[in-house]
Amino acid sequence: MPPSPCARCHDQRAVIIRPKNRQKLCRTCFLHVFETEVHETITSTSLFYPGERVAIGASGGKDSTVLAAVLKTLNERYNYGLDLCLLSIDEGIKGYRDDSLETVKRNAQQYNMPLVIVSYGDLYGWTMDQVVAQVGKKGNCTYCGVFRRQALDRGAAKLGIKHVVTGHNADDVAETVMMNLLRGDLPRLSRGTSIVTGSAASDIKRSKPLKYAYEKEIVLYAHHRQLDYFSTECIYSPEAFRGSARTLIKDLEKIRPSSILDIVKSGEDMALLVPAEVRGKGGEDEEGGGGGGGCGSQNGRTRGGEMAEMERKLKEDEAAKDREMEITSDSVPKKQQQSEQVQTPAQKKVKSQVLGTCERCGYISSQRVCKACTLLEGLNKNRPKTAIEMEVGLEDEESSSTLRRQMEKVELGGV
Amino acid sequence: MATNPEAPELGKDGAGSIAITVEFTGGLEILFANERKHHVTLPSHLDDGSRPTISYLLGHLVKNYMKDQRQELFILEGNVRPGILVLINDADWELEGEENYELQQKDNIVFVSTLHGG
């Protein structure tokens, strides 16, 4: 096969076929186009303001490493005037996180950015190694996810920074859209597609500048810039490669590469159809993954077996059914009567999500005691199998949503 | 992410074989005894007279180099698992004919998993 010339410079040999439009590009043009598109995402959404201090949630993995490299490049090229730093979470997993933190430390030097590491051990008195020793490998991702969310916020707060960017990519968003579609969780679907995910539980803004970047292009960008990243799976997340929803996304990409961005677009369009009162404000568990990254359960990723689990869950979960009805009520009038019946609990739910602070740790929480403290209580009592944790343990991944539902039920019961 | 293929020592003994470099990155190396870079020698012509392709290489790698039992993490339905990128001399294999690409002396083939970590 004769070498194809680059479609942009018509000079160099093309080494990339872009998934979104099949354009053939050489190395230099690809790097430039990739960066320019992230720049366009940033400017079109007014993501930053000049002088803003921004923490990059850095796991040492490909996504956050590429995010740091691109932001540094763009900040210099377009004079964003950003004050960038790296924020990493040390979950305390020997042979995994300590290695990936070495990568982050090298990145800090390579990019000349300050690095702050916050550890579970310091924040909670428990490393993940200790948590696993206590609760076993099943269900431990729940702890990790809940702890991470707060850890990133606390790390940012410690730095006096109000904006954390994470390396979530288009594949992650597409997967989240599919998962929430399948579970009928339109509130979460609508929140997950947004580039900025403000959380009701925190005044720290989260955003994902790589939202429209294909995972494939992120990996190729890292490859062609020879970026230094870490790519070993978490030892406590034993399924080495992703499960069903991820596989579905990758299979679709194989058949029709534009599918991924099409799903992202569909998700955004569906989000617009979700009424604001249904969308809700999001809680402390919103989008548990991100900066700490690297773990199989995070970034909205899933593992095998979850689909079956979810189906079972959906059958049981009246709340989820209610939400489905609500949405159809707008577009399908014949279901009006049904939908009226279910409006009430949903409205109650939204009303009940009032912000307060956790009475134990002072972290902003819509519950009396925040989730981290609830989990810690179980750990500290040396009795991990409390009711809540057992429920959550059934569905390791997206643990947050299960927990959230449990909490909502509890609340509804109590109101 | 080493991209400078060192001249392989193997296979210079005759016209009967081709020597290539194969790299596994992005987490795939764990399936291959944690070795990122492998020097691989293939016959220049197969029994039926055809030249070895990427397809042939896949079978060869699974048979001779893969130390992990979980073949499906590398090969699905006879081809590279979706989510694993293949680069032929740094170019996306889609530009080179994918699994039907005929391997050349000193080719550098990189398999990169996109499926690991964030």
Extract the tokens encoding B57: 């290489």
Interface contact flag, A298 B70, Cβ < 8 Å:
no
For the complex shown, is ipTM > 0.90? Answer: no
Which runs of consecutive H residues, i.e. helices, occur in chain B? 54-64
Which has the minimum average pLDDT: A71-85, A260-274, A304-318?
A304-318
Give contacts of B92 with chain A, Cβ < 8 Å.
Answer: 15-17, 220
Residues of B with CB under 8 A from a CB of A: 1, 3, 25-27, 30, 70, 73, 81-83, 85, 87, 90-92, 94-97, 101, 110, 112-118
Give the amino acid at A91. Answer: E
Interface contact flag, B27 A59, Cβ < 8 Å:
no
pLDDT one-digit tens code per residue, A223-258: 999 999 988 777 776 553 456 788 888 889 989 999
The pLDDT of residue A344: 45
Q: Are strands B84-88 and B91-92 parallel, antiparallel or unpaired?
A: antiparallel
Look up the domain containing A260 and give its range: 45-316
Determine the average pLDDT of the residues in A18-47.
97
Which chain A residue shows the shortest CA-CA distance from B26?
A231
SS3 (DSSP) at A207: strand
Question: Which of B26, B94, B117 lies nearest to residue A17, judging by beta carbons?
Answer: B94
The verdict on A289 touching B (C-beta cutoff 8 Å) is yes
Main-chain dihedrals φ then ψ at residue B78, nearest 5 degrees: 75, 0
Interface contact flag, B118 A222, Cβ < 8 Å:
no
Main-chain dihedrals φ then ψ at residue A118, nearest 5 degrees: -110, 135
Question: Which of B82, B92, B116 lies nearest to residue A15, judging by beta carbons?
Answer: B92
Interface contact flag, A233 B116, Cβ < 8 Å:
yes
Interface contact flag, A219 B112, Cβ < 8 Å:
yes
Dihedral angle at the C-alpha atoms of B81, B118, A295, A103, nearest 10 degrees? 110
Q: Are strands A83-90 and A115-119 parallel, antiparallel or unpaired?
A: parallel
The 3-class secondary structure across A254-294, one letter per residue, is HHCCCHHHHHHHHHHHHHHHCCHHHHCCCCCCCCCCCCCCC
Interface contact flag, B116 A167, Cβ < 8 Å:
no
In a domain, A143, yes or no: yes
Comparison of pLDDT for B23 and A230, the residue scoring more: B23
Number of structural domains (chain A) is 1
In a domain, A322, yes or no: no
Using the Cα atoms of residue A32, residue A38, residue A42 and residue A44 in order, give the sign of their dihedral: positive
Instruction: State the count of interchain CB pairs (< 8 A) between A and B.
Output: 108
Question: Which of B26, B92, B113 lies nearest to residue A17, judging by beta carbons?
Answer: B92
Comparison of pLDDT for A191 and A349, the residue scoring more: A191
CA distances from A94 to A120, A130, A148, B45 (A): 13, 11, 17, 48
In a domain, A387, yes or no: no
Extract the tokens encoding A332: 């399908």
- Give Cα A188 distance to the centre of its chain: 12
Q: What is the DSSP letter of A201?
A: T
Determine the distance in angstroms separating the CA of B70 from the nearest CA of chain A, rounded to an integer.
10
Give contacts of A226 with chain B, Cβ < 8 Å.
Answer: 1, 3
Question: Which of A63, A64, A220 lies nearest to residue B85, judging by beta carbons?
Answer: A220
The pLDDT of residue A164: 95
Domain ranges of chain B: 17-113
Give contacts of A167 with chain B, Cβ < 8 Å.
Answer: 118
Q: Looking at beta carbons, which pairs linking A122-127 to residues 24 or more positions away fall under 8 Å?
A: A123/A147, A123/A150, A123/A151, A123/A154, A124/A372, A124/A376, A125/A376, A126/A92, A126/A376, A126/A379, A127/A91, A127/A92, A127/A93
Interface contact flag, B117 A59, Cβ < 8 Å:
yes
The verdict on A64 touching B (C-beta cutoff 8 Å) is yes
In a domain, A224, yes or no: yes
Determine the average pLDDT of the residues in A384-413.
41
Alpha carbon distance B64, A152 (integer Å): 44
**CATH class for the domain made up of B17-113:** alpha beta
Interface contact flag, B115 A222, Cβ < 8 Å:
no
We report the CATH number of the domain holding residue A148 as 3.40.50.620
Which chain A residue shows the shortest CA-CA distance from B25?
A231
**Cβ count within 10 A of residue B92:** 21
Q: Identify whether the C-beta of residue A8 lies closer than 8 Å to the C-beta of residue A33.
A: yes
pLDDT for A391 beyond 70: no
Q: Identify whether the C-beta of residue A116 lies closer than 8 Å to the C-beta of residue A80.
A: no
The pLDDT of residue A332: 45
Average pLDDT of chain A is: 77
Interface contact flag, B118 A59, Cβ < 8 Å:
yes
pLDDT one-digit tens code per residue, A199-208: 666 688 999 9
The 3-class secondary structure across A90-132, one letter per residue, is ECCCCCCHHHHHHHHHHHHHHCCCCEEEEEHHHHHCCCHHHHH
Give the amino acid at A124. Answer: Y
